[in-house]
Amino acid sequence: MMPIEPLMIEHRLIERVIADIQLRLGGQTPRKAIDPPYVDRVVDFLRTYADRCHHGKEEDILFRDLRQKTLEPGHRTLMFQLVEDHEWARGTTRRLVAANASLAAGNTDSLIEVHRLLRDLASFYPVHIQKEDKSFFRSSMAYLNDQEQEAMLREFAQFDASLIHEKYRHIVQELGTEL
């Protein structure tokens, strides 16, 4: 198995959530009611799975290892564009959290912003995923030998195994500061 296969499998799950967002927003006008708890679940998925798990493996492992290689200029540029994409998604998700909190608190004017941000994310991810799947992942494996790829797969598995503990340690820390 090549290290990109788990990343591409993760893309398929992200695409399912994006498809659900598109379905829920399809045909709605920005003034139609939206369920803030649904947005909270989407945000949790985007932050935990899409960003911390998926983008985390890309940035903390794959891109880290590729930065040690002499990449063709186009590949190096694309890798840095992908990191910028991840930063954009993080910032947009933060704005979605704020708008959704405002909506949940009764500010109906925030509904337009929640819809816009969900649409922005739902438009972003398919393009970003295609960029990684078609233009970067497969070609990037040429820079890594078999041993490096095997080591990366092991590191991905370790990363996944520690992720749930990281998430819930953070929740416990937050709860501790509230007491």
For the chain, give the number of residues. 179
- Is 80 exceeded by the pLDDT of residue 29? no
CATH fold of 4-178, please? Four Helix Bundle (Hemerythrin (Met), subunit A) (1.20.120)
- Whether the CB-CB separation of 66 and 79 falls below 8 Å is answered with yes
Residue 50 · residue 14 · CB < 8 Å: yes
pLDDT, averaged across the chain = 92
Structure tokens at 70: 């002499």
Residue 4: which of 131, 128, 127, 138 has the closest Cα? Answer: 138
d(C-alpha 82, C-alpha 71), whole Å: 15
**Which pLDDT score, from 0 to 100, does residue 53 have?**
95
Pick from 6-15, 20-29, 144-153, 154-163: least confident: 20-29
The CA-atom distances, in angstroms, between 38 and each of 17, 72, 93 are 11, 42, 14
